[in-house]
Chain A
Amino acid sequence: GAVVSQHPSRVICKSGTSVKIECRSLDFQATTMFWYRQFPKQSLMLMATSNEGSKATYEQGVEKDKFLINHASLTLSTLTVTSAHPEDSSFYICSARVSEKNLIYNEQFFGPGTRLTVL
């Protein structure tokens, strides 16, 4: 089946530092990758959609200069949390989709998540 990995699985950093999270599709090429954020006891909130080779589309209220997304290849997208603060502490989950065509059948495959703790 389609596998998506994330690295690291867990990261603790000091306030003011930047953290990069990688999302890889291991056995398929993902034209589109998505980044979600989940606070404790809450649902997943879509942060941004990234298409390979183009700029990411951010959801309302998500600062693009704070959450830098790069989708340079069909198997890798990165999310960089710049100048992280304690309120950025969250569970970050990526997902990957093979094609935008025929969304009735189109599944997204989710990574295992990255838990970010900012001290």
Chain B
Amino acid sequence: SQQGEEDPQALSIQEGENATMNCSYKTSINNLQWYRQNSGRGLVHLILIRSNEREKHSGRLRVTLDTSKKSSSLLITASRAADTASYFCALQGGKLIFGQGTELSVKP
């Protein structure tokens, strides 16, 4: 399957803690993207990391990509209750294919 596999499926943490989500895949990619989706809402694009990049930062987000292991991770530092959402990795080859998602709950 081209779909990315994410773990954990669900993550519950306290405000202020860091949250790490992982995405593994099997195909070759041009880039890998991370999205956030609040319940019942549209997607918010968080970050794009190219296949020739290893790490990328955006505010409290840090994304890593290891193409040899075909895996990526999204780290959210100093989490806030407003970070509560589902997070998806998406693999860009010829098409953009989404992972199964991680449901993050940040408790105040």
Q: Which A residues lie at the B interface, using CB under 8 A? A: 34, 36, 42-46, 49, 91, 93, 95, 103-113, 115
Min CB gap B92→A, angstroms: 6
The tally of CB-CB contacts under 8 A between chains A and B is 53
Closest 6 CB pairs of A and B: A112-B42, A103-B30, A44-B98, A110-B43, A104-B30, A113-B42
Contact present for A105 and B98 (CB under 8 Å): no
- Number of residues from B at the complex interface, CB < 8 A: 24
Q: A-facing mask of B60-103, CB < 8 A → 1, else 0?
A: 00000000000000000000000000001000111111111100
Q: Which B residues lie at the A interface, using CB under 8 A? A: 3, 30-31, 33, 40-43, 45, 48, 50-52, 88, 92-101
Other-chain contact of A104, B31, B97, B100 (Cβ < 8 Å): B31
With a cutoff of 8 Å between Cβ atoms, the chain A residues found around residue B99 in the complex are: 43
Complexed CA–CA distance, A113 and B42 (Å)? 6
